[in-house]
Amino acid sequence: MAGRGCDGVAIRDVTRLLGPGIPVYPGDAVPTFRSRALEGSLVTDLHLTTHSGTHLDAPSHYLSGGTTVDRIPLSHMVGRALVLDLRDAPDAIPASALSGRIRGHTRLLLRTRFSASASFSFDYPCLTPEAAALLAEAGITTVGIDSPSIEAFAGDGSVHRLLLDRGMVILEMLDLDGVPEGTYWLVALPLRLEGLDGSPARVILIDEGGRP
C-alpha cells in the first residue's frame, strides 16, 4: 500500500495485512481475533505469536541471553535502507547475488518472488550460510526479507545465529511487491514487548527517490 505524507513524500507500507489468512510458519499459531462488547465499547482479544505476519527477530530468538526486542537500538530500525531486487536470483540466495551491491549500506531489504505469494511454501527464498556470512562481514545491522524466514526451512538455525550474534535484527514476511530497487528511509517499529524474542512490526518505506 502506498500513499503520500502531508509534505508530498511517497510512503510505502510494506507490512503484510495481519489476519487469519496470512501465511503461517508450520507450528506457529494461526492468528485469531475475538471481539467482545464491553460496557458500550468494543474490545478484541488477539491470539498470535511474536513472529506472526511481518515481524522482527530479536537476537534472543536464537541466542540465550541475547538482546530482547524491547532493548534493540532504534537506530537499527529507523534510517536509510537499500531494497535489492532478487527476484531473478536462486531461491537459495548465494553470496554472489549480494557481492558488490551492498557497499555503503547498513540496512538491507531483500525483494524476492515471495512478496506476491499468499500461502506458505517450503521452498521459500532464503539466505545461504555464505550469503549470511557476507552480510555479517559487511557490517549490516538490519536485514529484511519478504519470505517467511531468512533461513531455509530445513536449516539448522546457523544462519539466524550468525546474523543475530553480530547484533543484527531480522525482518521477515515483508511485502515488497511493487517496490523498485533503490534506497528508502526505513521505519520498522515492533511492539516494545518486555523481555521477548520478537514482535509483529509495522514497517514503512519513505521514498527519497534513491534509484540506482
Q: Which of 47, 51, 55, 61 does the annotation list as catalytic? A: 61
| Torsion angle in degrees (nearest 10) through CA of 209, 137, 189, 119 | 90
Element (H, E) at 135: helix 129-138
Is residue 61 among the annotated active site residues? Answer: yes
| Contact (Cβ atoms closer than 8 angstroms) between residue 36 and residue 21 | no
Rounded Cα–Cα distance for residues 127 and 144 (Å)? 11
List the grid coordinates of 137.
Answer: 562481514
The CA–CA distances, whole Å, from 91 to 109, 121, 127, 133, 176 equal 15, 12, 8, 17, 16
Rounded Cα–Cα distance for residues 161 and 152 (Å)? 13
Element (H, E) at 156: none
Active-site positions? 61
